[in-house]
Amino acid sequence: MLIVHHLNNSRSQRILWMLEELQVPYQIVRYQREPTMLAPDSLKVVHPLGKSPVVEDNGNIIAESGAIIEYLQETYDPESRLKPISCEDKLRYRFWLHYAEGSLMPLLMMKLVFGSLGKAPVPWLLRPVGNVLGQGVQKAYLNKQILTHARYLEDCLQQTPWFAGQALSAADIQMSFPVIALLSRGGINDLPNLQNWYNQIQIRPAWQRAIQQGGPFEIP
């Protein structure tokens, strides 16, 4: 049986969602974040990078969300329920699979890091300086970049209800983590299309089952 090495509040939640959409049986091995919010060292026993998600299937150990999602679609979705058919939608599909982690998520991670420079575990004597530095970088660079991306996503979802066209695809599953992070920590209001997209995925039975399997989900 396919095994998902699942870290709480992590990208592995979207792997559970995809498996539930495809109704693929799986087993979960659970890991809890350390107080530092990092993954425990025990994940390095599974994969040298010690990150989640990692899946084991048919003797293969596969890491990286995008690679896992492509593997699951190719292996367990012979009817292409989660991959569009038209050439135009396939181009969108491929773009979003790579954009999620290649363009959007690095900015949101930087915002998280720079927003934490004035807090523990930064030594208290350095926190005032860290806070000024973090706020300065966000104001001068990060916030503008994130706003550009947010408006781009908002415009794309004005054209189609899902990222790769008229139906849910694995592109939406890949985009779920950065979009939820954007809505929770982006500091941007007035994103009705993104919010509606998020509302739509939350009412999907497969999403709800994935939350039940993976546990409470809140992006740190």
CATH of the domain at 109: 1.20.1050.10
Q: What does the block give as tokens for 66?
A: 């995008």
Tens of pLDDT, residue by residue over 98-131, are 999 999 999 998 888 777 777 877 776 767 666 7
Cβ proximity of 183 and 193 under 8 Å: no
Average pLDDT, whole number, for the chain? 91
- At 220 the three-state DSSP class reads coil
Q: Are residues 14 and 72 in the same domain?
A: yes
Q: Are residues 91 and 197 in the same domain?
A: yes
Q: What does the block give as tokens for 163?
A: 């990222």
Q: Are residues 61 and 151 in the same domain?
A: no
Dihedral Cα 150, 152, 156, 157, nearest 10 deg: 20
Q: Are residues 67 and 22 in the same domain?
A: yes
Tens of pLDDT, residue by residue over 186-195, are 778 889 999 9
Question: What phi and psi, each to the nearest 5 degrees, are found at residue 63?
Answer: -115, 170
Q: Strand pairing of 26-31 and 60-63?
A: unpaired
Burial label, 96 (beta-carbon count in 10 A; 0-12, 13-18, 19+): buried
Q: What is the pTM of this model?
A: 0.93
* Whole-angstrom distance, CA of residue 84 vs CA of residue 41: 38
Q: What does the block give as tokens for 95?
A: 């773009």
Residue 220 belongs to some domain of the structure: no
pLDDT of residue 34: 87
Dihedral Cα 38, 51, 186, 9, nearest 10 deg: -70
pLDDT of residue 141: 80
pLDDT of residue 57: 97
Q: Which residue is it, tokens 């300065």?
A: 136
The answer to which of 11-15, 89-93, 108-112, 126-130 has the lowest mean pLDDT is 126-130
Domain count, the chain: 2
Cβ proximity of 2 and 57 under 8 Å: yes
CATH of the domain at 55: 3.40.30.10
Give the residue numbers spanning the domain of 62.
Answer: 2-81+209-214
